[in-house]
Each structure stands twice: as C-alpha cells, then as structure tokens.
A and B are shown apart, each in its own frame.
Chain A
Amino acid sequence: DGGITQSPKYLFRKEGQNVTLSCEQNLNHDAMYWYRQDPGQGLRLIYYSQIVNDFQKGDIAEGYSVSREKKESFPLTVTSAQKNPTAFYLCASSLQGSTDTQYFGPGTRLTVL
C-alpha cells in the first residue's frame, strides 16, 4: 500500500527542546516537502528537497532543519530557535518537481507546552 506516512500524529514539546518529525514515502518520489499550517494561513513552505543529499530553504526555514540521506525519508527537526512552533506540520512528495502532483501525508500536530 503506497503512500506517505508521518509520525507521530500528535507531539508535545517543552520549551527549549528540539523535536524531530518523521516523514517516509514509498512512492519512489524524488521530491519531498515540509509545510507548516496555522489557522487561516494556508500552507507555508519550510524546506524542500528534489534529490537525495540536497535541499533548499522555503519561506519560513528559520528555526528548522532537515536532512535527506535516503530517497524515502525527509525528517524535520524543530529546534529551540523556532519561537512559535505550535502548528500542524505536513509532509508531501512528488515524482520530480513542481510540475508534478504533490501527495500529502496525514500531518503531525505539534504543541509546545
């Protein structure tokens, strides 16, 4: 059963802690993306990667970091430098780039306590 999985579904973090959100896809897609969604804000791009071992900053990369060591995995770390991390985080993948449909995972809701 192909698709994108994100874990955990809910995540709670204390202030000052780094947390890592998992994103895995078995669609054999080259490109992967991380978005943040806040109420009324739509999707804002954090980072994206078009090939393994390469990634680019999106519009709101400050306070986040990513790695792309394997084609199927694109973890996102929310660092303590991110001042307002409480949000819904969505991972997506596409076959190659922006011309291809992006398929989204179910999302991770991060709450800072």
Chain B
Amino acid sequence: QKEVEQDPGPLSVPEGAIVSLNCTYSNSAFQYFMWYRQYSRKGPELLMYTYSSGNKEDGRFTAQVDKSSKYISLFIRDSQPSDSATYLCAGGSTLGRLYFGRGTQLTVWP
C-alpha cells in the first residue's frame, strides 16, 4: 500500500465550478500535509500547507485534513482556466521526507 493515494483523474470542469481534490494516506504518524500545483513541464509550487487536522483557507482555496479517516482534501471555488494544472498532495512526519500522491490532472474549460 502506498503511503499516499491520489486519483490521477483527469478531471474536467467548467469555469466557475467548485473543484474537490482528494487523497488518502496510510501512515498515522503524518502530521504535515501539503498541496502543490504543477503546470505542464514546470516544477511544483506550494499551494497550501496544513498541520494536523482542520481547515485552512487562502483565497479561493481551502485545504482540509481529517486525521481520523486519513483523508486530505483541496477545494477550489470559482475555478478559472488558469487553475488547469496537476495537483499533488503530500504528507510527512518528522522523519526527514515527504510522501507524494500521483497527482490529479485538472482542466477548467471556459
């Protein structure tokens, strides 16, 4: 079983839709969770960083962590064509490395 599981999609939505991206993880020691956005042929860039359970909001983006069910979510409100990218979730403990999901490819069409 992989440490972090993520449905690769692809996911295609119309502009203005609410997008829900999800991951599950298996390691109970994970306390740090991140979402990265990666445009085609570019390096990933950090979108959201959360510690332990709870919600974190930043503009149109909301990250949720439910440690009881080992579930990580990213919501994008009022999605835009510029949000079209691959979204990677990641989790880690204090032991030196992150574990990434496979990434979900998102397309937002005008």
Contacts and interface: CB of A to CB of B under 8 A. Distances in A.
A40 B96 contact: no
B41 A98 contact: no
Interface in A76-113: 88, 90, 92, 97-99, 101-107, 109
A76 to B, nearest CB: 15
**B-side interface size class:** 20 to 34
Main secondary structure of the interface of A (DSSP, over half): strand
B42 A107 contact: yes
Interface stretch (A11-19, A41-49, A61-69): A41-49
B94 A98 contact: yes
B106 interface: no
B25 interface: no
Contacts of A42: 6, 88, 100-103
A48 B99 CA distance: 13
Contacts of A43: 44, 88, 100, 103
B43 A58 contact: no
Interface of B: 6, 8, 31-32, 34, 36, 41-46, 49, 88, 92-98, 100-103
The list of the 10 closest CB pairs from A to B, nearest first, reads A104-B43, A98-B92, A42-B102, A43-B100, A104-B44, A106-B43, A97-B96, A42-B103, A42-B100, A98-B97
Interface of A: 4, 31, 33, 35, 40-43, 45, 48, 50, 56, 58, 88, 90, 92, 97-99, 101-107, 109
